[in-house]
């Protein structure tokens, strides 16, 4: 049995691999939404310096990424992505569990996130994980579904 994947903080040297991972992970959504999803437009060097960015890697290859931002008692899950070739290996589940543990350790009572309305499988997945849709809105030209999960302290 394989050990649970380890999540570690991202460092400046990880930015290039994270960018490549995000490009691969979100490429399939471009035809559906008609443009690059928001995470493909981010500067990951800047995010590593100014947000909470974590990765799962194996043999120096980054397989998954998680971008978090704290706002008082709310943790914002800004991005979670796994290399397409690694889907189904539990990496996304490990990153989601890590985000909840991180939130609790840092005194947050909820996690908020959003996804594009046309990424319907993501909306359903988040609902299965206990997230509740709070509203829908267009931001920065993207039709988004906003979800929130309350955490037991």
- Condensed to tens digits (0 to 9), the pLDDT of residues 84-135 reads 999 989 999 999 999 999 999 999 999 999 999 999 899 999 999 999 999 9
d(CA 115, CA 96): 15
Per CATH, the number for 7-110 is 3.40.630.30
Domain boundaries, the chain: 7-110
Q: Given this model, what pLDDT does residue 1 score?
A: 46
Q: What is the number of alpha carbons within 13 Å of residue 22 lying toward its C-beta?
A: 23
- 3-state DSSP assignment of residue 57: strand
In this prediction, residue 59 carries a pLDDT of: 85
CB 7: neighbour CB atoms within 10 A?
A: 21
Tens digit of each residue's pLDDT (9 = 90 or more) over 3-31: 567 899 999 999 999 999 999 999 999 99
Beta bridge partners of 116: 144
* pTM tops 0.85: yes
- pLDDT 10s digits, 32-54: 999 999 999 999 999 999 999 99
């Amino acid at each position: 049995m394989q050990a649970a994947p380890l999540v570690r903080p991202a460092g400046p040297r990880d930015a290039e691999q994270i960018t490549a991972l995000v490009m691969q992970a979100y490429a399939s959504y471009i035809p559906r939404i008609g443009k690059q999803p928001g995470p493909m437009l981010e500067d990951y060097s800047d995010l590593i310096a100014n947000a909470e960015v974590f990765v799962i890697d194996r043999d120096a290859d980054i397989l998954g990424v998680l971008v978090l931002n704290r706002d008082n008692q709310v943790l914002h899950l800004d991005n979670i992505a796994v290399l397409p070739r690694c889907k189904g290996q539990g990496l996304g589940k490990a990153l989601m569990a890590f985000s909840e543990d991180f939130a609790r350790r840092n005194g947050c009572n909820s996690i908020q996130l959003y996804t594009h309305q046309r990424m319907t499988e993501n909306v359903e997945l988040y609902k299965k994980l206990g997230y509740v849709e709070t509203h829908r809105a267009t931001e920065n030209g993207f039709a988004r579904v906003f979800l929130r999960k309350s955490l037991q302290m």
